[in-house]
Amino acid sequence: MLLKIENLGMVDRANIEINGITIIAGDNNTGKSTIGKALFAIFNALCNSEEKIKDLRKQELNKNIKRICMDYFDKEDLPINLFEMTRRLPRNLSNLLTEHKNIDIENNIQSIINHYQIEITEESLKDLQIKIKNSVDKIMNVSETDLQKEFLQRYFLEVFNEQINSLSNVNSIMDIVLTIKDRDIKIKFSNDRCIKLEVPYKILHEAFYIDDPFIINSLNTKSLSIPFYRGRYFSVEQRHLIDSIEKYDRLKNENVFASLFAEKSLEEIYAILNDVVEGNILFQDNNISLQSKKFNKPININNLSTGLKAFVILKILLERNILKEKDVLILDEPEIHLHPKWQMQYAQIIVLLQKFFDLSIIVTTHSADFLAAIEYYAKKHKNIDKCKFYLAKNEDNFNTFVDVTNETEEIYKQMFIPKFHLDELNYELEENEDE
């Protein structure tokens, strides 16, 4: 998979290969997170777009047909048969139209009206049929491409807080090409509006973005009574992760076999996770807790350390079979709350997840130790050929990304500059003390 970006937010130009684990390092404010957010927006806006469009049409048809019926039979107290008809007619028509498209609208309207014995003149019936048909034609004639563009535009606007086009070049065109299996998804934005979209194939996989272990607290309903969590703003990336975990409860019977297969094939990953997160994660009464021999009763997930929460999120995604083969996983500075020992374990989990799930993983980091751990475990598990390393640079207020896969010392050199500077300061301090 190859991602080419021009003039997106803080990124002037990027050419990023994603064929396993892609690590992006560099100074703050160089657009590292933008790469992962762009991939997240593309995958989740276009994933299963046919089903999303079908549901959207169905909702719009149902809403408009119901409004026409209610306006047409404008009465304060509708008789029960008329009330039932105004519910069934929109529902039946919207279902038929989205499943079969070419149906006889007039006959269906008349059939339902006859079924409920609604008294209506031929002239009034004809007028009602025309109004409904005109509304239906308007909705059904909106092309799938236009609806896809609208989905994508709204997703990008949310992810990038309505600042999609280049922040340094006002009149530029934002241009993205995502190449998968020699086919190109092409996207262009001008003035934060999608002006071009080409999707030559179906996207069937989701992207998961993890940047904040504290979001796990929001899954506990008790947390919602605390003002901090009730009023907290969640990004679209965080909301997607929360919704994916919550959705499992509605689909858990469908995931029984998949969860069992995952557990058996991922014993090595579970061994690492269980070493850090010892015990079982319990979901009871809409609250999450950890049951462990270390505690005399299950401990509320909110009371765990931030670093432990980072591992709990991964454990939930695996145990609930939310993260699936060939999905996209974006980890924005995952080491930030982790002790060096846990950074090494987290790095090993990343390498093994990619190996066993064939995931596309993007990692941004500022830690030399974490970066070295990923390199080490990728070599140990014979997965280093699935790793790409990029250094984000800002030169003359121009943000670009340099492929340093065969020269990773370039990343370490930049990371160690502050240490060298600190050594110089300490040397100066010692000299001053000697004087």
pLDDT at 229: 43
pLDDT at 81: 84
> For residue 121, with 0-12 CB atoms within 10 Å meaning exposed, 13-18 middle and 19 or more buried, which class applies?
exposed
Instruction: Kindly state whether residue 423 falls inside one of the protein's structural domains.
Output: no
Same domain for 40 and 164, yes or no, is yes
Instruction: Kindly state whether residue 58 falls inside one of the protein's structural domains.
Output: yes
Contacts 24+ apart (CB under 8 A), 382-386: 383/20, 383/21, 383/351, 383/354, 383/355, 385/20, 386/19, 386/20, 386/21, 386/354, 386/355
36-50, 285-299, 352-366: least confident range: 285-299
Q: Give per-residue pLDDT as tens, 115-148.
A: 988 888 889 899 999 999 999 999 999 998 899 9
| Parent domain of 352 | 1-47+145-206+324-410
Same domain for 406 and 341, yes or no, is yes
Q: Which residue has the higher pLDDT, 250 or 60?
A: 60
- Looking at this protein, which amino acid is placed at residue 65? I
Instruction: Kindly state whether residue 428 falls inside one of the protein's structural domains.
Output: no
Q: Contact, 208 vs 241, CB < 8 A? A: yes
Same domain for 74 and 7, yes or no, is no
Residue 194 is given by DSSP the state E
pLDDT at 301: 84
Buried b vs exposed e over 272-298: b needs ≥16 C-beta within 10 Å?
Answer: bbeebbeeebebeeebbbbeeeeeeeb
Same domain for 381 and 296, yes or no, is no
pLDDT at 428: 76
pLDDT at 118: 84
Nearest in space to 377 (alpha carbons), one of 367, 366, 386: 386
Same domain for 177 and 58, yes or no, is no
Q: Which residue has the higher pLDDT, 343 or 71?
A: 343
pLDDT at 184: 96
Residue 358 has pLDDT above 50, yes or no: yes
Q: What average pLDDT does range 153-161 have in this prediction?
A: 94
- Pairing mode, strands 387-395 and 287-291: unpaired
Q: Which residue has the higher pLDDT, 328 or 292?
A: 328
Q: What average pLDDT does range 363-370 have in this prediction?
A: 94
pTM of the entire predicted model:
0.85
Instruction: Kindly state whether residue 425 falls inside one of the protein's structural domains.
Output: no
pLDDT over 90, % of the chain = 52
Residue 7 maps to which CATH number?
3.40.50.300
What confidence category does residue 250 fall into, taking pLDDT thresholds of 50, 70 and 90? low
Cα–Cα distance between 222 and 241 in angstroms, integer? 19
Tokens of 140: 């059904």
Instruction: Kindly state whether residue 270 falls inside one of the protein's structural domains.
Output: yes
Same domain for 185 and 229, yes or no, is no
Q: Give the domain-ending residue among 244, 278, 307.
A: 307
With tokens 């999303």, the residue in question is 52
Cα–Cα distance between 272 and 355 in angstroms, integer? 15
Residue 188 has pLDDT above 50, yes or no: yes
Q: Give per-residue pLDDT as tens, 390-427.
A: 999 988 778 899 999 999 999 998 888 777 777 777 77
Mean pLDDT of the chain: 86
Q: What average pLDDT does range 268-291 have in this prediction?
A: 81
What angle do the packed helices 236-251 and 32-46 form, to 10 degrees? 40
Instruction: Kindly state whether residue 421 falls inside one of the protein's structural domains.
Output: no
Give me the number of domains the chain comprises.
3
pLDDT at 248: 66
Same domain for 217 and 287, yes or no, is yes
Same domain for 402 and 289, yes or no, is no
Q: Give the domain-ending residue among 93, 110, 140.
A: 140
Q: Give per-residue pLDDT as tens, 68-98.
A: 988 887 765 667 888 888 889 999 999 999 8
Tokens of 83: 């009330």
What confidence category does residue 263 fall into, taking pLDDT thresholds of 50, 70 and 90? low
Instruction: Kindly state whether residue 317 falls inside one of the protein's structural domains.
Output: no
Same domain for 32 and 61, yes or no, is no
Same domain for 13 and 149, yes or no, is yes
Same domain for 260 and 330, yes or no, is no
Q: Give per-residue pLDDT as tens, 228-245.
A: 444 457 899 999 998 888
Q: Give the domain-ending residue among 140, 175, 198.
A: 140
Q: Give per-residue pLDDT as tens, 191-228.
A: 999 999 999 988 989 999 999 998 888 877 544 444 34
Same domain for 16 and 97, yes or no, is no
Instruction: Kindly state whether residue 426 falls inside one of the protein's structural domains.
Output: no
